[in-house]
Amino acid sequence: MTTPDHGARLKQVAGANILITAVAIAFAMAIDPTLGPLAPALCLLAFAIASEFVSVPIAAGRLSGCFGAVLAIGWISGPALGVLAAIIVTLVEARRHGTRRASIAVNVAGLAVAALLAGAAAHLAQVRGVDAADTTFALVCFAAYMAAICIEFWWVFSADLGDDLEPLGVMTRHILVPLLPQFACMACVTAALPMLYSQFGTTALLLVFTVLLSFQSLVRALLLSRQRADQLDESVREIAERERALERLSFGALRALVQSVNLRDRMTARHSGAVARYAREIARELGLDDHEQETVHMAGLLHDVGKHIFTDAILTGGRKLTDDQFELVKQHPGVGAELVRGMPGYERVSDIIRHHHERIDGRGYPDGLAGEDIPLLSRCISVADTYDVMTSRDSYRRPVSRQEAIAELRRVAGAQLDAAVVDAFIRALERTDVRFDHGSADDLERQLAVDSWRQRRAA
Ligand SMILES: [Fe+2]
Ligand SMILES: [Fe+2]
């Protein structure tokens, strides 16, 4: 926001710079009142404006051949035309970029003074007998270019019109000094222009400018496309970060869901913990990778979240279900799957949940899938589920021993359960003594402690 004090300062700075520009014109006219030749001046002015339109974006601003062209006008056609060209190109640039008025005055004066000094140096050399075709003249022009670019830089930044500008010394070190090699290259090309003009005329200048503008356009196009690619990368990174945040949020919601099931129905919650534990062991035994093991673990934890639609009579009763109650029971995989599907990144877990009551012979629910049409991880859940229902001490049924449960798994393998998955589970049971303690809350907490997995997966 512009305060009254700041506004007054801007007016003072603008007024002083307009005055300085006028003085620069007067000095230039006084040094050399002859205006010309005009043809190279017009040619250089056209190049300066065209070059401004294809300026190359860099970290510290823009690079173009505009500055050099203005100085070259002063060297070839006299300091007065150089100063005039400085005013014209700065106004064109300001209009193009919507520069503030006070900054326009500063920029015009900065370039005008730079053009005046460079033009004066060249004029002085010529007065002392140095011919424009001589190497000495080119060296004078080179030195004048480097001095002029520093003068212009300091002029513009010492006006201190930008927002939160750093001290001039810091900006010199951070902006001007790193750019000096590029400026030196541009000074070499620019310093050669008077020599070129004196030997080959305006046509040679036109030829050089065509090449320079083509090269500048090419560099600009390359840099812009790289900037767009960087922006695209940045957008992709932002989207991925948002997705990760959403996944973390989703996981928090799902964890709360399991714990809310725990509050209403402790047996189902601990059963879910046990199924997650067993299903992960099966996946490991089948040789599935860590990601698959983690996915089936999560699906195990959530496989019965659809049970919240059960009435208390279904949840806690030990009696045979009525037909209506069984219809409700058959809905829980679908309801649970829909609940989980709403969470971004959980589509696969949702599919596994939906099919955890399918049977290998196609007589399960909700979709009656058979054999390998049932997702493998759903088949793992089915085996873990069946085993835990049989062996759990929390179950309203009489728990059976591990050996009896294994015998039952073998009996239904190939009809209700996938035989290969049953075999894998039995191998895991016999080898690692996989257990889940339904009697304590600790085992459930251990199964729920998967935050580190979520973070790893989201990383
Ligand atoms: Fe279930
Ligand atoms: Fe279950």
Name the band, by pLDDT with cuts 50, 70 and 90, for residue 218. Answer: confident
Q: pTM for this one?
A: 0.54
Which residues sit opposite 62 in a β-bridge? Answer: 57
pLDDT at 430: 86
Cα separation, 137 vs 319, in Å, equals 108
Please give the C-alpha separations between residue 301 and each of 254, 273, 295, 459, in angstroms, as whole numbers: 9, 6, 10, 22
Starting from the CA of residue 356, give the closest ligand. 1
Cis peptide before 4 (omega within 30 of 0): no
Domain ranges of the chain: 4-200, 239-458
The rounded Å distance from CA 316 to ligand 1 centre is 15
Please write the tens of the pLDDT for every residue from 275-310.
998 999 999 999 999 999 989 998 998 899 888 777
Least confident of 16-25, 62-71, 416-425, 437-446: 437-446
Say how many Å lie between the CA of residue 324 and the centre of ligand 1. Answer: 17
Question: In this structure, are strands 61-63 and 56-58 parallel, antiparallel, or unpaired?
Answer: antiparallel
pLDDT > 90 fraction of the chain, expressed in percent and rounded: 26
Hey, what long-range contacts does 119-122 have (CB within 8 A, 24 or more apart)? 119/28, 119/31, 119/32, 119/71, 119/74, 119/75, 119/78, 119/79, 119/80, 119/82, 119/83, 120/27, 120/28, 120/31, 120/79, 121/147, 122/74, 122/75, 122/79, 122/194
Q: How far away, in angstroms, is 445 Cα from ligand 2 center?
A: 18
pLDDT (tens digit per residue) in 172-210: 888 788 888 888 988 898 888 888 888 888 888 888 888
- Dist. CA 426–CA 422, nearest whole Å: 6
CB 446 within 8 A of CB 438: no
Q: Please name the CATH architecture into which domain 4-200 falls.
A: Orthogonal Bundle (1.10)
pLDDT at 459: 43
**How remote is the CA of residue 275 from the centroid of ligand 2, in Å?**
7
Say if residue 451's pLDDT is above 60. Answer: no
Reported residue count of the chain is 459
Q: How confident is the model at residue 452 (pLDDT cuts 50, 70, 90)?
A: very low
CATH class of the domain comprising 239-458: mainly alpha
Cα maximum dimension of the chain: 118
Predicted local distance difference test score (pLDDT) of residue 337: 94
Q: What pLDDT is attached to residue 305?
A: 85
Mean of pLDDT values over 4-19:
80
- Cα dihedral 19, 30, 142, 57 sign: positive
Query: pLDDT digits over 45-82, tens only?
Result: 998 888 888 877 776 667 778 888 888 999 999 899 99
User: What's the gap in Å between 390 CA and the centre of ligand 1?
Assistant: 14
Please report which ligand is nearest the Cα atom of 268. 2
What is the number of the ligand closest to the CA of 269? 2
Which pLDDT does position 104 carry in this prediction?
A: 87
Residue 129's region, left for phi above 0, alpha for psi from -120 to 50, else beta, is left
Q: Determine the distance separating the centroid of ligand 2 and the alpha carbon of 146, expressed in angstroms.
A: 80
Comparison of pLDDT for 9 and 413, the residue scoring more: 413
Is there a common fold for 4-200 and 239-458? Answer: no
pLDDT at residue 331, rounded to an integer:
93
* pLDDT at 274 > cutoff 60: yes
Q: Give me the residue label for tokens 């919650």.
A: 269
Which backbone phi and psi does 62 adopt, to 5 degrees?
-135, 150
Does 130 score more than 80 pLDDT? Answer: yes
Q: List, for residues 149-173, the tens digit of each pLDDT value.
A: 888 888 887 776 665 567 777 878 8
- Asked if residues 205 and 77 have their Cβ atoms less than 8 Å apart, the reply is no
Residue 356 Cα to ligand 1 middle (Å): 7
Q: How far is the CA of 304 from the centre of ligand 2 (A)?
A: 5
Instruction: Give the Å distance between the CA of 271 and the centre of ligand 2.
Output: 7
* pLDDT at residue 456 in the model: 47
Report residue 242 as tokens. Answer: 């948002």
Categorize the per-residue pLDDT at 396 as very low, low, confident or very high, splitting at 50, 70 and 90.
Answer: low
Q: 357 CA distance to ligand 1 centroid (A)?
A: 6
> Between 376-391 and 419-432, two packed helices, what is the crossing angle to 10 degrees?
60
Between 404 and 316, the more confident residue is 404
Which positions ≥6 away from 243 have C-beta within 8 Å?
344, 345
- Asked whether the beta carbons of 368 and 362 are under 8 A apart, the reply is yes
349-388 burial: b if 16+ Cβ within 10 Å, else e: bbbbbbbbbbbbeeebbbeebeeeebbbbbbbbbbbbbbb
CA 378 to ligand 1 centroid distance, Å? 11
How far apart are the CA of 172 and the centre of ligand 2, in A?
71
Ligand 2 centroid to residue 289 C-alpha, Å: 24
